[in-house]
Structure 1
Amino acid sequence: MWMIRGLSSFLFGTIEFSLKSLGVASHGFNVTSKVLDEDRSKRYEQGSIEFGVLSPLFVPLTMAAIVNLVAFAWGNVELIRSSNSPEELFMQMFIASFGILNCKPIYEAIINRRDRGRIPTKITAISAFLALALHATAYVALRK
C-alpha cells in the first residue's frame, strides 16, 4: 500500500503543490469515480483493489511494476549469461523481487482479471511505452 501512495497520490500532490507555488494555473481533477454499482461493491467486499477507472494515477504504478519485472528478468539473464557470482547481483535482485512482490495486485489487474476492475489496456500500453523509454535512456546513459 505504501508503494501505491508513494507513486500516485504523493507524486500528483507534489506536482499540484509545485504548480500552485509557482503561480501556474493548475486545474484539479477527479481521479476516481465515485459511482457505485453492484459489481464494484462485490469486488470491494472481496478485498479486490479497483483499477477499472481510466485514471492517470495508475500510470506510475503500472510503470513501476513493469520496470521491476524487466529488471528482475534482466538480472536473471545476466546471472545465466555472465561469469558474475550471484553475490555480486544479490542486492539488485533482492530489490527487484521486493518490488515484484509489492506489485502483485497490479500484475493480477493487468493479466488475470477479466472483470471491469482490471487496469485498462490504454494505461498498460502507456506504462509499457514509458518503461521502455526509461530502460532505453538508462541503457544509453549507463553503458560502459
Structure 2
Amino acid sequence: MFPLHTEHTAFGEFLWCGGTFQAWCNEQRMWLFKRTTSYFFAFFDTVLKLSGYSKSAFVVTPKVADRDVSRRYEQELMEFGDSSPMFDVLASLAVLNLFGMLGLIKKLGSGADHGVLLDRFGLQILLCSLLVALNWPVYKAMFYRKDKGRMPASVTYKSIIYALLVSILVL
C-alpha cells in the first residue's frame, strides 16, 4: 500500500511509485506523529535518567494483526485500537489545536478586527489550521469511528482533560 518507506517523500515521487493521495497524506501524518511523540518521550526518559530513576519501559503498540486490522489498512484508515502513552500525547496535542481553532472562530465571530488579527497572527492561524487538518484522522478516531481501530475512550477523555487544563492555565 505504501510503496516508499522513507521518512519524508515528495508527493510526485510517491504517486509515480504507485501510491495514492490518501496514502501520501497518511505517510506525512505518521512522520509528524513520530516526531512529536519520540521527542517528548526522549526528553521524559532523559529527565528520569538524570533524576536517578530507572529507564522508562512501555510497549509502544501491539504487533498483532487480524482481518479487521488488515481491512482497515487496505482502506487506508489509521489504526489506533489499543491504548498507548503515545496516543495520549497525540490526542492531547490534537485537541489543544482544535481548541485553539475554535477560540479563533469564536474571536472572529465576536466582531474582532479581522485585519489586525490576520496581520498579527496570520502565520499562527495558518499553522493551527494546518495542524487541525493534519489531525483529522485523530479527531475521526476519537469522536466518529465505531470500529476496533478507533481511539480508546480513556485516551479521548484524558486528552480532553489535559487540553482543557492547558487552555485554562494559559488564559
Pairwise mapping of residues 27-38 of structure 1 onto structure 2 (< 5 A)? 27-38=56-67
The worse-fitting range, judged by mean Cα deviation, of 117-126 and 100-109 is 100-109
Matches of 1:44 and 1:78, distance apart in 2: 39
The separation in 1 between residues aligned to 2:124 and 2:96, in whole angstroms, is 13
What is the rounded CA distance, in whole Å, between the counterparts of 2:148 and 2:110 in structure 1?
41
Q: Which structure carries more relative contact order (alpha carbon 8 Å, separation 6+)?
A: 1
Closer, same or farther: CA 15–87 of 1 in aligned 2, 3 Å: same
**1:132 maps to amino acid:** L
Q: CA deviation at 1:124?
A: 0.4
The percent of aligned pairs where both chains have the same amino acid is 32
Matched residue pairs, number? 139
Matched, 1:123 2:155: yes
TM-score normalised by the chain length of structure 1: 0.86
Unpaired runs of at least 5, structure 1? 140-144
1:18-29 alignment, distance < 5 Å: 18-29=47-58
Tell me: CA distance 1:49–1:93, structure 2 relative to 1, closer, same or farther (3 Å): same
Tell me by how many angstroms 1:107 deviates: 1.1
User: 1:120-142 CA distances to partner (integer Å, 9 max, x unpaired)?
Assistant: 11000000000000000000xxx
Counting only pairs closer than 5 Å after superposition, residues 4-19 of structure 1 correspond to structure 2 as: 4-19=33-48
Q: Report deviation, 1:3.
A: 2.6
**8 A contact 1:72–1:97 mirrored in 2:** yes
In structure 2, stretches of 5+ residues that fail to align are 1-28
Q: Which residue does the alignment assign to 1:98?
A: 130
2:92 is aligned with 1:85: no
The residue matched to 1:36 in structure 2 has which SS? coil
- 1:137 corresponds in structure 2 to 169
Structure 2 SS opposite 1:107: helix
The Cα shift of 1:67 comes to 1.1
